[in-house]
Amino acid sequence: MGILKYLIPVAVIAAGVGWVVTAPGSVDAARYDGVTGNAEAGETVFTAAGCASCHHAPQSEDKLVLAGGQPFASDFGTFYAPNISPSDAGIGGWTVADLAGALTQGVSPDGQHYYPAFPYTSYAKMEPQDVADLHAYMQTLPASDVASKPHDVGFPFNIRRSLGGWKLLFFSDDYVMEASDEAGGARGRYLVETLAHCAECHTPRNPLGGLDKAMWMGGAPNPSGQGTIPRLTPDKLTWSAEDIAYYLESGFTPEYDSVGGHMAEVVDNFSKLSAEDRLAVAQYIKALPALGQ
């Protein structure tokens, strides 16, 4: 009994500290005050970030109606991409700072943590100008009134506040690779590590769902359960930079096999970017360090 006398206050303090440190953060709105969005530039950001690939409606031919609804299975449950079209059911009323909070902090305008199925762990490094441009572009897209489908996630992962703890452990806006000219420069790194969020699928995750950065781009099981996402490091991927750039443009491997699965959507996006951007990504991939087993 005696020990409880000490344990209870400790537990209360721990819970209090836990409550504080898991609180959703917010962006510095002033950072976005002087930034004016350009919709045309935003289209490139939108394409490079692959927003439509996950947020268009399942089986929809029109990939610019961002009604959401595609399921994403994981070890923690099934997540459904929400409606992010410019309507009341989506992000119609959002300010640039609201969008920045979502993309760079993983926090909704009403102060809730998002699940990291939404790759804000990559988007965290987005330039304010790109966020503003993206915001301007997304407001020009068709509106959909389809309500977002709730995620199908079990206890304890359904307690959003626990994501504050997850973020303490795994959320960082540091880059993994050095930016060098041989590695596609700052642009290549920004495309791979931030906008195109390649590592979200190509890097394995630990049991809590955080990226295992020691195995950067080391390949991973497909979260859908079928097959694997390939390793991109030079111990496995032996294509030349030109081969990789051509694959991102056409979907053809050097053997003229063709891209499949979700990567087909990724190639769709890359094919709309500039040849310089594709080559920068390819150079980044070629500069990855080899991994062991």
Partner 1 sequence: MKKSFAALAALAVLGSAAFAQDMPKEVKARQGQFQILALNLGVLGGIAKGAIEYDEATATAAADSIVGVSMVHQATLFTEGTDSMSIDGTRAMPAIWENMDDFASKWGDLGTAAAEMQTAAATGKEAIGPALGKIGGACKACHDTYRAPE
* Residues at the interface with partner 1 (CB under 8 A): 59, 222, 226-230, 238, 242, 246, 249-252, 254-265, 267-268, 271
Q: How far is the CB of 157 from partner 1 (least distance, A)?
A: 25
Q: Name which of 62 and 257 has its Cβ closer to partner 1.
A: 257
Q: How far is the CB of 225 from partner 1 (least distance, A)?
A: 11
Q: How far is the CB of 280 from partner 1 (least distance, A)?
A: 19
Q: How far is the CB of 60 from partner 1 (least distance, A)?
A: 11
Q: How far is the CB of 243 from partner 1 (least distance, A)?
A: 10
Q: Name which of 228 and 274 has its Cβ closer to partner 1.
A: 228
Q: Name which of 3 and 238 has its Cβ closer to partner 1.
A: 238
Q: Name which of 36 and 228 has its Cβ closer to partner 1.
A: 228
Q: Name which of 187 and 262 has its Cβ closer to partner 1.
A: 262
- DSSP line for the chain: -HHHHHHHHHHHHHHHHHHHHTS-----GGGGTT----HHHHHHHHHHHTHHHHHSPTT-S-TT------EEEETTEEEEPPP-SSSTTTTTT--HHHHHIIIII-B-TTS-BPPTTS-HHHHTT--HHHHHHHHHHHTTSPP--PPPPPPEE-TTTT-TTHHHHHHHHH-----SSPP-GGGTHHHHHIIIIIIS-THHHHS-B-TTS-B-GGGTT--EE-TTSSSEEPP-STTT----HHHHHHHHHH-B-TTS-B--THHHHHHHHHHTS-HHHHHHHHHHHHTSPP---
